[in-house]
């Protein structure tokens, strides 16, 4: 029997902020239990640290340089043969969506569509929800210093879960379904009602790894973003612990809504494959920054990823994997062939406890930048892509211009920029990525090895959509580098 597919996506959730990851605050006890009963991928990465590029990667199984969506304002640029919805339509799935889309698909592409929800509003049922959305708008993507003065039922995650459960109740029990639930939190604005607001006192928030001094060491777009932030909200960094405390409370609120969703899905008797993940991370005070924007740090790139359900092994997997791998994983779970141009790899064998070929799962990459020349403060850049108004937008011309590629392999991390500048970090010794070893004589061999791996990835990521007419081979797992990968092609 084909399984129901459940995708639970959060927005801007940094990996490592859970008890199962060793964090001292119990933020997501239900998701921790779900991970303990399934497979917890501890080294999962986004394809790009921005919402629309990352979500388009999940949808298409392609990296941004291939699907062409490199910033949040260009979902219409998406390039692919077939995506997740096409695959599941072909398998005769009913398609249900609730929450924040921020991707190339919308209301007309689903059987039921409850949205769009964004960070300051969503479909409103009554005056209380309308008032709450107005309050969110006035918060201006900032940090609330007081508990949110509205009931829990007004919170966007609660409303989205209510919508999703209505779709579950109305779904045909004899037909498999996709239930895609996309929460806008814990993305800014950072707010939460009681009891979540008081769950962690600011003084009890665990220390960050680096503060504003880290932004100055990093320089470039990090220092630029910090200056913008201080111009918009002077003295922000002095209150970073309140921001972090709100963020942790938002995780607990989310966790309870995910549990509520899980309980509602139990009414359906079909097997189920549940995937819980985020689109990208958040600084949560690192480098004296909030939100996202500058650079390819682990704080923005690493995401939580849990796969649970029938046939999934109870385990932790430490192989580096990607949001790009979700589409091929679902293709294999529902017995559908991979669309042409898919660049991800199926994680289903790993979730079932099988071994992972080192050649295939020894490294992972991510991308940033919409291309062109990298801009800096001397260019007098606008604060926003579309206007020069006095606003703090972290996804601005300085932080998003140019192009960069990141490769993670074991303890090492390589970043190469289009202007040939490079970064190399030993993450075991330097988790904040402040000691750049790229030009270190002692690390030339490591640099060469990682550059070789990155070159192989770049060859793999060359857009292969046009080759479909000539190369009919479709690999079961998309494990192109595995020793057992077929090499023959039909003539």
| pLDDT at residue number 218 | 93
Has residue 485 got a pLDDT over 90? no
Give the range with max mean pLDDT: 116-125, 207-216, 225-234: 207-216
Confidence check: pLDDT of 489 > 70: no
Identify the band that residue 466 occupies on the pLDDT scale cut at 50, 70 and 90.
low
pLDDT at 487: 39
Give me the mean pLDDT over the 239-255 stretch. Answer: 97
In a domain, 286, yes or no: yes
> With 70 as the cut, is the pLDDT of residue 481 above it?
no
Q: Is residue 481 part of a domain?
A: no
- Whether the link from the prior residue into 186 is cis, omega within 30° of 0, is yes
pLDDT at 70: 80
Residue 394 in this model has a pLDDT that exceeds 80: no
pLDDT band (50, 70, 90) for residue 3:
very high
- Under a CB-based contact definition with an 8 Å cutoff, are residues 233 and 142 in contact? yes
pLDDT tops 80 at residue 120: yes
Can you point out the beta strands (E) in 389-447? 402-409, 412-417, 422-426
Q: Is the pLDDT of residue 473 over 70?
A: no
According to the per-residue pLDDT averaged within each range, which of 62-76, 104-118, 245-259, 398-412 is highest? 245-259
Task: Provide the Cα torsion 196, 197, 201, 202; round to 10°.
Answer: 130
Q: Answer whether residue 442 is part of any domain.
A: no
pLDDT tens for 172-209 read 999 999 999 999 999 999 999 999 999 999 999 999 99
Cβ–Cβ < 8 Å for 341, 64:
no
Q: CA nearest 23: which of 147, 144, 204?
A: 204
Residue 474: the pLDDT is 52
| pLDDT tens per residue, range 48-96 | 999 999 999 999 999 999 998 888 777 888 888 999 999 999 999 999 9
Range of the domain at 271: 4-356
Residue 209 placed within a domain: yes
What residues form DSSP beta bridges with 216? none
Strand-pairing partners, residue 40, are: 306, 316
User: Can you tell me the mean pLDDT for 127-138?
Assistant: 95
Residue 369 has pLDDT above 90, yes or no: no
What pLDDT score does 373 carry?
74
When pLDDT is cut at 50, 70 and 90, the band that residue 467 belongs to is low
Interatomic CA distance for residues 142 and 191, integer angstroms: 8
**pLDDT (average), residues 117-123:** 87
Q: How many domains does the chain divide into?
A: 1
Condensed to tens digits (0 to 9), the pLDDT of residues 290-312 reads 898 889 999 999 999 999 999 99
Burial degree of 233 (CB within 10 A; 0-12, 13-18, 19+): middle
* 484 has a pLDDT exceeding 50: no
The dihedral over CA atoms of 107, 109, 110, 114, expressed in degrees to the nearest 10, equals -10
- Report pLDDT for 112: 96
CATH code of residue 170: 3.40.720.10
Bridge partners (DSSP) listed for residue 309: 273
How many Cβ atoms from other residues are within 10 Å of residue 438's Cβ? 17
Look at 180-184, 268-272, 462-466 and tell me which has the smallest mean pLDDT. Answer: 462-466
Is residue 478 predicted with pLDDT exceeding 50? yes
Quick one: what percent of the chain has pLDDT higher than 70?
92
- Say what the pLDDT of residue 470 is: 47
Confidence of residue 491 (pLDDT cuts 50, 70, 90): very low
Check pLDDT > 70 for residue 472. no
386 pLDDT exceeds 60?
no
Q: Taking residues 10-26, what's their average pLDDT?
A: 98
Residue 204, in any domain of the structure: yes
Model confidence at 383, pLDDT cuts 50, 70, 90, reads low
* Average pLDDT over all residues of the chain: 90
């Amino acid at each position: 029997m084909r399984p129901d597919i459940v995708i639970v996506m959060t927005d801007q959730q940094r990996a490592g902020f859970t008890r199962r990851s060793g964090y001292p605050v119990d933020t997501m006890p239900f998701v921790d239990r779900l991970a303990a009963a399934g497979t917890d991928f501890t080294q999962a990465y986004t394809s790009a640290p921005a919402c629309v590029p990352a979500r388009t990667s999940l949808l298409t199984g392609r990296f941004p340089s291939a699907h062409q969506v490199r910033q949040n304002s260009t979902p219409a640029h998406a390039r692919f043969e077939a995506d997740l919805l096409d695959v599941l339509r072909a398998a005769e799935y009913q398609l249900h969506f609730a929450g924040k889309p921020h991707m190339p698909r919308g209301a007309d592409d689903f059987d039921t569509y409850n949205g769009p929800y964004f960070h300051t509003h969503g479909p409103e049922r009554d005056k209380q929800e309308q008032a709450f959305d107005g309050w969110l708008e006035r918060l201006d993507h900032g940090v609330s210093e007081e508990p949110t003065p509205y009931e829990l039922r007004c919170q966007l995650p609660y409303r989205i879960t209510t919508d999703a459960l209505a779709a579950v109740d109305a779904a045909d029990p004899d037909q498999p379904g996709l239930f895609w639930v996309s929460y806008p939190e814990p993305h800014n604005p950072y707010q939460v009602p009681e009891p979540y607001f008081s769950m962690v006192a600011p003084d009890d928030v665990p220390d960050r790894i680096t503060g504003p001094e880290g932004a100055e060491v990093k320089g470039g777009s990090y220092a630029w973003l910090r200056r913008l932030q201080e111009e918009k909200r002077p003295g922000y960094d002095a209150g970073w612990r309140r921001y972090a405390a709100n963020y942790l409370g938002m995780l607990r609120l989310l966790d309870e809504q995910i549990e509520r969703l899980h309980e509602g899905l139990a009414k359906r008797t079909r097997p189920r494959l549940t995937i819980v993940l985020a689109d990208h991370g958040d600084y949560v005070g690192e480098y004296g920054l909030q939100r996202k924007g500058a650079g390819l740090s682990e704080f923005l790139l690493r995401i939580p990823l849990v796969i649970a359900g029938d046939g999934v092994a109870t385990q932790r997997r430490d192989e580096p994997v990607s949001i790009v791998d979700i589409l091929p994983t679902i293709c294999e779970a529902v017995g559908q062939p991979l669309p042409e141009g898919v660049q991800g790899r199926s994680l289903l064998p790993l979730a079932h406890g099988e071994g992972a070929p080192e050649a295939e799962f020894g490294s992972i990459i991510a991308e940033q930048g919409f291309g062109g020349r990298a801009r800096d403060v001397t260019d007098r850049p606008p604060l926003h892509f579309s206007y020069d108004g006095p606003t703090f937008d972290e996804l601005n011309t300085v932080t998003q211009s140019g192009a960069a590629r990141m490769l993670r392999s074991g303890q090492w991390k390589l970043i190469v920029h289009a202007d040939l500048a490079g970064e190399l970090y030993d993450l075991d010794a330097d988790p904040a990525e402040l000691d750049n070893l790229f030009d270190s004589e002692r690390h030339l061999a490591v640099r060469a090895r990682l550059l070789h791996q990155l070159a192989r990835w770049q060859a793999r990521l060359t857009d292969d959509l046009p080759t479909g007419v000539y190369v009919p081979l479709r690999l079961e797992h998309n494990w192109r580098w595995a020793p057992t990968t077929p090499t023959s092609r039909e003539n």
